[in-house]
Structure 1
């Protein structure tokens, strides 16, 4: 019965997330009709969507226009299906990309598939937005200890898998940046403790981060904005 309940819960969450992602994509489709072209774009999955960039800009007194087109739960293949809404429609001058965290959490995901999928995203950007400056962001650290305290099934296993794959995944993204003459940036300094894990006070669930953590990230990345 416990396994059956776990499966039902997983199916419910999966259906809910699918609807949420579709709704966000449709909202972006409408919002993009009114964007000011040539501005800065943040795009990716939930770790980008949850970046409170507008409030941070206000707090720092910075007069920049930054659009956020992150979608929680997105993988790189999903981004490939949403290139217009997440990237191309905005015709940005700069793009900051953080995508692939969910991909490396899939047990049977391979480095080769991650690279192949990511390369397709970058190829479209290079072809359709040749003048745009692109920044590929290193993946954020995790904290499996915090994840283990979460009430949903296997939260710690997902965090552990991500932690194990982060070095190789970051190396792959860095190599892709070099291949396309784009920029690879690691803006994670200050997020981790001596153990290399996200500091507990920054971590919501072992994967996602509180706004305090994004202030640290912003301080590291504002020189690129």
Structure 2
């Protein structure tokens, strides 16, 4: 049942994203400040960094503050919980692919929001090393056993590798403008046609741990 605005008799619709922000508010009170933070959407949230950093040297302390479903406007609205409360010394951002998937997607709108995100970080965390991550490729061709291909057709009409490459070029320029570092950690993720390797993905967009293992290996020089 959905809530009718202004009717107190009906239950509020559960907002999972807001709940995650609240959980982060509480977690951040217990976390070490000045460490490394990952921020973004589902492709960041699903990064199994807790398991993977167990195999790294103990000097690494990485907090994942990605939230599935986030667009750039969502991250802008929750910068305190996802970034600032942790006062990171290093910040890795991957946000914007859900913007690309949206029916009303405009690259200039994504860039305006992303620019404001980076501007706020520069103002609040002047000593933080910020890494703007390239968007990951997709695979619209392969069949995935747990996801009907038809259910992804609308998304892949807009979220194409061509659109992703265009956005990557744009955010690379944006990172340079803000004096931050653009990093492409996608090497090894694609097949011979340049699509996301189907063995790494559950639906052509989201990845299993083996895909993230490739990304983690590419990230190590920056950690």
Same fold, TM-score > 0.5, yes or no: yes
1:186 aligned residue: 184
Match runs of 1:151-190 below 5 Å: 151=148, 154-163=151-160, 164-190=162-188
Structure 2 gaps of 5+ residues are 3-11
Match runs of 1:3-152 below 5 Å: 19-146=15-142, 150-151=147-148
Match of 2:15, SS? helix
- Quickly say closer, same or farther: Cα 1:127–1:60, change in 2 above 3 A: closer
Residue 38 of structure 1: how far off its partner (Å): 0.6
1:3 aligned residue: none
Residue 46 of structure 1: how far off its partner (Å): 0.4
Runs of 4+ in 1 over 6 A off after TM superposition: none
TM-score (norm 2): 0.89
TM-score (norm 1): 0.88
User: Structure 1 or 2: larger helix share?
Assistant: 1
Residue 160 of structure 1: how far off its partner (Å): 4.0
Q: Do the aligned partners of 1:137 and 1:186 also contact (CA within 8 Å) in 2?
A: yes
Measured in 2, the distance between the counterparts of 1:60 and 1:38 equals: 18
Measured in 2, the distance between the counterparts of 1:122 and 1:60 equals: 28
Measured in 2, the distance between the counterparts of 1:102 and 1:158 equals: 9
Measured in 1, the distance between the counterparts of 2:58 and 2:167 equals: 32
Match of 1:102, SS? helix
Residue 145 of structure 1: how far off its partner (Å): 2.2
Measured in 1, the distance between the counterparts of 2:180 and 2:74 equals: 22
Q: Do the aligned partners of 1:39 and 1:65 also contact (CA within 8 Å) in 2?
A: yes
Residue 157 of structure 1: how far off its partner (Å): 2.8
Measured in 1, the distance between the counterparts of 2:140 and 2:178 equals: 33
Structure 1 gaps of 5+ residues are 1-7, 9-14
Measured in 2, the distance between the counterparts of 1:133 and 1:167 equals: 24
Q: Do the aligned partners of 1:145 and 1:156 also contact (CA within 8 Å) in 2?
A: no
State the aligned residue count.
Answer: 211
